[in-house]
Amino acid sequence: MKKILLVTLLSFVGIAAAQDGFKCGFLEANEYLFKEDPTAKQRFERLIQEANNQANNTSQLKTAAVTYTIPVVFHILHLGGSENISDAQINSAITILNRDFKKLNADTTSIIAQFKPLAADCEMEFRLATLDENGVCTNGITRHYTPNTNWSPSGGFYLYTWDRTKYLNIYVVKTMQSGAAGYTFLPGTASANSDAIVMLHNYVGNIGTSNSFSSRTLTHEVGHWFNLQHVWGSTNNPGVACGDDGVSDTPVTKGHSSCQLNSAVCASGIVENVQNYMEYAYCSRMFTQGQKTRMHNCIIAGTAGRDNLSSNANLIATGVINPNPNCAPKAEFNHSPVTCVGNNFSFTDLSYNATATSWLWSSPSAANTSTLQNGTLSFTASGIASVKLKVGNAFGEDSITKQVLIVLAGPNSGTLNITQGFETVFPDNNWIATIPQYGGGFITNTVTAATGTNCAWVNNFFDNPNGAVSIYSPMYDLQNIINVPQFSFKYAYAQKNASNNDALKVFASINCGNTWTQLFSKSGAQLSTTGTVITSAYLAPQPSEWVTEVLSLGSYVGNPTVAFKIEFTPFASGPGNNVFIDDINVSGIVSVKENNSILNGVEVFPNPTTGMLNFKLGMINDKNLRVQLLNSLGQILIDENLGQNLSFNIQNFPAGIYFMKLSSTEGSKMVKIIKE
């Protein structure tokens, strides 16, 4: 069972969109830390007091102009999307850090007069490492394909942290549960693995997915990592109460989330340092001399090993001094998640660490290999395909294999009016389920099913899948449907708490999964079939707790390649209760080719009818004419030979539309029947 920890710290929400300043959950984060670790609060308060004392003790200040050089490693966590930012975007982030910490930013000219003399060159430089912990060549950027890119600040998510006494670790992720854009802990308060900065990808650097407005979020976080508080102290949000950050030259302030440069709220006539990097106003320009002292004291004091970072021995060990340019590439690639059998499918090379000069793409499910940088493979088998990329240059080779590509079965692989009830092997060559990543996904087991003994279900109560999981259908041919086809399924679900917002959706695709159109969506209380919140019990649905959904496919009539996806997305803030799926069916009535010369004279009357159907056979002499009565879902209600009986009574069937299929050795014919 996974433990999902709900932490929000140093979060910045909606800056670029709303331009209303930064928002932070620093206090809540530390309160969470204190709750998890009873010693953390005392440690936090002691470290804050020590830092405040050091700020007033000039004996610890360095006496010579020395630049502290900090080795940095970025860990990119991604699922192949825009969060897998480029090396160039990372390099732009390093450039901005060095600009801001060295006071080389051109906008220092706009610092207001009261604070311009206090703006500090912090004499700190940041460089990407060129050697990892094992002395292996690196470019200071690691990339990991993992759902952990949808970040939860639990200890289990800090899987890739390098030694914090040697590197400043920065994680780049896609989302955070709280909507945060970045966070870190003050030095010495968190565990060694958790002693890292975590950033949303679109707040890193000023190119690619980010922009200049968001680019200084990392400057703010690095300030925290070197023991700076917000200028108003360790309170929850700016503007709440006047506070002090323990730095003598940053005035007491409530904090600001807009750029009010002449604000003097806390002391009459004393203008506050709104342009400080540790503020939430969007006009950051500076650190003060006092903040520089506080950061240097953090390094000198050796809190959490910060003193070793810039040591000559460490700069050699991390490759910052005498960097090694002779690196082999690390294999990485991107792709769309779904294709179908027979398609030529393209992959995008994202290899890093060094420039690759050779590529080899292969898959056991493919008919070919490719040596192009962005390879193309054609798949011959449906299911989940594993794809391997091997890259190399003069200094070595590397390879990566991913088992994540869904290959849909080809056209007409789905059979109308046959229910997928999960009583046989699932998944198979036609029905496919995504592979769970670091957690649960759709499985089958002997549980309380809607019908039979098996159904597909997600063990969301104990094993939250940390991301969307899906069931993919075969491909259906709806070209010759003469009624409105339908997609139906049964499901059961319970909320684990009233705020739980697990979601279930159904999609259709007509282009091999390249794009999907949503047909159905329910979440939270709307999705629940039990009518109650089941907090402590593991849902095993009773017959009354199953619901049937029937979706019209009228807009897909005439299309020969329709595939479906049922997708379950767990609530981002933690495991909910279980969801169960059973009896998936695509139903419709296919027209039949008629032998007009023989069956043209066959008539069924009266039509409409209140109950009795009579047959006029015309020229056909076959008294063994086969008669099938189907409802609008394609289910067979009557199936027998006509024999000597030239009439049928359907009085007991409900009013509605039916179809009569007449078959003989001479041919076949479909007749639409209206029962009144």
Pairing mode, strands 348-349 and 383-393:
unpaired
Please indicate whether residue 620 or residue 311 has the higher confidence score (pLDDT). Answer: 311
Mean pLDDT: which of 30-34, 149-153, 426-430, 454-458 is highest?
A: 454-458
Burial group, residue 465, by CB count within 10 angstroms (0-12, 13-18, 19+): buried
pLDDT for the residue 424: 87
Measured at the alpha carbon of residue 248, what is the angle toward residues 242 and 250, in degrees to the nearest 5?
55
Region of poorest pLDDT, from 97-101, 368-372, 446-450, 648-652: 446-450
- What's the pLDDT at 438? 43
**Given pLDDT bands bounded at 50, 70 and 90, which one contains residue 142?**
very high
**Identical fold between 336-408 and 432-587:** no
CA distance 83 to 70: 25
Please tell me whether residue 50 adopts helix, strand or coil conformation. Answer: helix
pLDDT score of 60: 47
Q: State residue 492's pLDDT score.
A: 94
Give the pLDDT of residue 120.
96
Low-confidence winner among 4-13, 308-317, 515-524, 554-563 (lowest mean pLDDT): 4-13
What's the confidence (pLDDT) of residue 440? 61
pLDDT of 116 reads 95
Confidence at residue 495, expressed as pLDDT on a 0 to 100 scale: 87
Is 568 or 417 the better-scoring residue by pLDDT?
A: 568
Tens-place pLDDT, residues 330-365: 999 888 888 899 888 899 898 988 889 999 999 999
**Inter-helix orientation angle 26-36/40-55, to 10°:** 130
Per-residue pLDDT band at 464 (split at 50, 70, 90): low
Higher per-residue pLDDT: 443 or 263: 263
* CATH 2.60.120.260 at 432-587, yes or no: yes
Q: Does residue 181 contact residue 211 with C-beta atoms inside 8 Å?
A: no
Residue 238 confidence (pLDDT) above 70: yes
Who has greater pLDDT, 638 or 30? Answer: 638
Q: Residue 199 above 60 pLDDT?
A: yes
Confidence of residue 31 (pLDDT cuts 50, 70, 90): low
Instruction: Between 185 and 56, name the one with better pLDDT.
Output: 185
pLDDT higher for 274 or 6?
274
Whole-number pLDDT of residue 250: 94
Q: What Å distances lie between residue 384 and 113, 379, 404, 584, CA to CA? A: 64, 11, 6, 20
Tell me: pLDDT of 540 over 80: yes
651 is written with which tokens?
């009085």
**Is the pLDDT at 9 greater than 60, yes or no?**
no
Per-residue confidence (pLDDT) for residue 190, from 0 to 100: 83
pLDDT score for 112: 96
Query: Over 80: is that where the pLDDT of 78 sits?
Result: yes
Higher pLDDT, 260 or 576: 260
Name the CATH code of domain 336-408 (choices 3.40.50.970, 2.60.40.1120, 2.60.40.10, 3.10.310.30): 2.60.40.10
How much is the average pLDDT of 114-129? 96
Average pLDDT, the chain: 84
- Stretch 10-17: mean pLDDT: 34
Instruction: Return the pLDDT at 42.
Output: 64
pLDDT reported for residue 235 = 62
The token duo for 70 is 């900090």
Kindly report whether the global pTM for this prediction surpasses the value 0.75.
Answer: no
Peptide bond into 427 cis (omega under 30): yes
What is the CATH topology of the domain spanning 15-237+289-317? Collagenase (Catalytic Domain) (3.40.390)
Q: What is the mean pLDDT of residues 549-577?
A: 87
The per-residue pLDDT for 174 is 92
Segment among 166-170, 202-206, 638-642 with least mean pLDDT:
638-642
Q: Which of 455, 468, 582, 575 is nearest to 516 (CA)?
A: 468
Higher pLDDT, 406 or 91: 91
CATH number of 596-675: 2.60.40.10
pLDDT of the residue at 15: 33
Q: Return the pLDDT at 439.
A: 52
Q: What is the pLDDT of residue 188?
A: 85
Q: Per-residue pLDDT tens for 601-646?
A: 778 888 888 888 887 776 666 556 788 888 776 778 888 877 666 7
Helices (H), 37-194: 40-55, 87-101
Burial of 322 (0-12, 13-18, 19+ CB in 10 A): exposed
Could you say which of 45, 125, 221, 594 is catalytic? 221
At residue 16, does pLDDT exceed 50? no
Residue 295 pLDDT more than 90? Answer: yes
pLDDT at 522: 95
Dihedral over alpha carbons 143, 149, 155, 158 (to 10 degrees): 10
Q: What is the pLDDT of residue 20?
A: 38
Q: Look at residue 27 in the predicted model and tell me its pLDDT.
A: 56
Q: How far apart are CA 119 and CA 111, in angstroms?
A: 8
Encode pLDDT of 241-277 as tens digits.
898 888 989 999 988 888 889 888 898 889 999 999 9
CA separation (Å) from 374 to 346, 443, 612? 7, 34, 66
Question: Which residue intervals of 37-156 are DSSP H helices?
Answer: 40-55, 87-101
Residue with the larger pLDDT of the pair 3 and 495 = 495
- 221 catalytic, yes or no? yes
List CB contacts of 338: < 8 A, sequence separation 6 or more: 405, 406, 407, 408, 472, 509, 512, 513, 514
The region, left, alpha or beta by phi > 0 then psi within -120 to 50, assigned to residue 36 is: alpha
Query: What confidence tier does 101 reach under pLDDT thresholds 50, 70, 90?
Result: very high
**302: confidence class by pLDDT, cuts 50, 70, 90:** confident
Q: Percentage of residues in the chain with pLDDT exceeding 90?
A: 44
Range of weakest confidence among 133-147, 296-310, 423-437, 603-617: 423-437
Number of H helices, E strands in the chain: 10, 33
Domain boundaries, the chain: 15-237+289-317, 336-408, 432-587, 596-675
Q: What is the pLDDT of residues 579-600, one digit of tens each?
A: 999 999 998 887 766 555 556 6
Given a cut of 80, whether residue 56 has pLDDT beyond it is no
